[in-house]
Amino acid sequence: MPKLCVVVPAYNEGESLREFHARLAAVFDRIDMPCEVLYVDDGSRDDTYAVMCSLRDADARVATLKLARNFGKELALTAGLDAADADAVVVIDADLQDPPELIPAFLAHWREGFDVVYGTRATRAGETRLKKFTSAAFYRVMEKLSATPVPRDTGDFRLMSRRALDALKRLRERQRFMKGLFTWVGYKQKSVVYERDARFAGESKFNYWRLWNFALEGITSFSTAPLKLATYVGLGTAALAFVYAVWVFGKALLFGDRVQGYPSLMLAVLFLGGVQLMALGMIGEYLGRMYIETKQRPLYLIDEAIPASQRGTAEEEKTQRQAMMAGVD
């Protein structure tokens, strides 16, 4: 029988997890196939892992994975997906912004033959105008710049089929912009529109500085357009400079050359200096990422991996745990 695994990355979500699990368990009860949830503790500093362990003790469908430290959501998700062994995998946030009740709808589309079913946010409750605006702007820019445009207003909340998951697992880059990677995989994709709720408890872990870096990550991992920008800005300035040179030279021929033009000289020097530094910075963004990529460090480290107890005997559990740990590379 096909099996479903729900992967939940959590960082300091101790307050939400019990409520989250109660809602997810209610959904599982309505699904007529074996279900499992894998909670990934991304090095939380609160009682998140303790809560996960107590959920695992109380419910045989719960597996847990504890990372060695906080690696960030993208890597926590990667660790979870590497460990997930199922025919359909769902990725969902632990803060209840994405309703688990949508999972049966995802499954229905999966049964129709879709490989990726993703949630598209119709509304985003509890988020500021500025966040909505910057997020919308980001998706528009990505659409223009990237050859793998990320669907608008789509988060990580989605279902993936076995083959989509296997394809995703082959992308081992260190700079992980998951939304982009999900899209890159392709296959038959389907969007399901939903209302995004406000957080159940706590605050978003993504402040604007983190979001800005996240956006840079997205753009640099999926587009090299910024690298070409310098070429065109350079060409444009050179063309303008040529026109200006003709004018300056002609004026000098006709009216003689009195030493003048300090302001324009200063302007040109400062402007070009700025443009050059910006272009260098852009090259630096890519170079830095290449540097990190060449180090070939493991993506994440696992502290403890415990499979769901419904999977079988202690002996089987041991081999499964070893298999889960072996997922690290």
- Compute the C-alpha angle 264/268/274, nearest 5°: 145
Footprint of ligand UDP on residues 193-222 (CB under 6 A)? 204-206
- What is the secondary structure of 69-110 as a DSSP string? S---HHHHHHHHHHH--SSEEEE--TTSSS-GGGHHHHHHHH
Residue 256 tokens read as 């003689």
- Exactly one of 94, 142, 178, 308 binds ligand UDP (CB under 6 A); that residue is 94
Q: Which is nearer to Mg ion, 15 or 93 (CB)?
A: 93
Single residue of 73, 121, 158, 176 touching ligand UDP by CB under 6 A: 73
What is the nearest approach in angstroms of ligand UDP to the Cβ of residue 41?
A: 8
Which x/- pattern over 90-109 shows residues binding Mg ion (rule: CB under 5 A)?
---x-x-x------------
Cβ atoms of 91 and 102 closer than 8 Å: no
CA distance 291 to 84: 30
Using the contact rule CB under 6 A, the part of the chain among 88-96, 139-147, 217-225, 266-274 near ligand UDP is 88-96
* One of 25, 27, 70, 216 touching ligand UDP (CB under 6 A): 70
**Angle formed by the axes of helices 178-185 and 208-222, nearest 10°:** 30
Cβ 76 to ligand UDP, closest distance in Å? 4
Site for ligand UDP in 6-65 (CB under 6 A): 9-11, 13, 42
Nearer to ligand UDP, 89 or 114 (CB): 89
Cβ atoms of 90 and 103 closer than 8 Å:
yes
Tell me, by CB under 6 A, how many residues bind ligand UDP: 16
Q: Which CB, 46 or 257, lies closer to ligand UDP? A: 46
For residue 151, give the DSSP letter: P
CB of 204 to Mg ion, least distance (A): 5
What is the torsional sign of CA 298, 89, 60, 62?
positive
Q: Could you report how far apart the first and last alpha carbons of the chain are, in Å? A: 30
DSSP 299-310: S--EEEEE--GG
Least Å distance, CB 93 to ligand UDP, is 4
Residue number, 8 or 324, with CB nearest to ligand UDP: 8
In the list ligand UDP, Mg ion, none, the entry touching 271 (Cβ below 5 to 8 angstroms by class) is none
Helix or strand (DSSP H, E) at 65: strand 62-67
CA distance 77 to 68: 14
- Single out the residue of 14, 72, 100, 180 in contact with ligand UDP (rule: CB under 6 A): 72
Q: CB–CB of 280/227 below 8 Å? A: no
**What's the CA angle centered on 120, arms 116 and 123, to 5 degrees?**
165
According to the binding rule CB under 6 A, does residue 93 interact with ligand UDP? yes
The residues that touch Mg ion, with contacts defined as CB under 5 A, are 93, 95, 97
Under the rule (CB under 6 A), what is the footprint of ligand UDP?
9-11, 13, 42, 70, 72-73, 76, 93-95, 97, 204-206
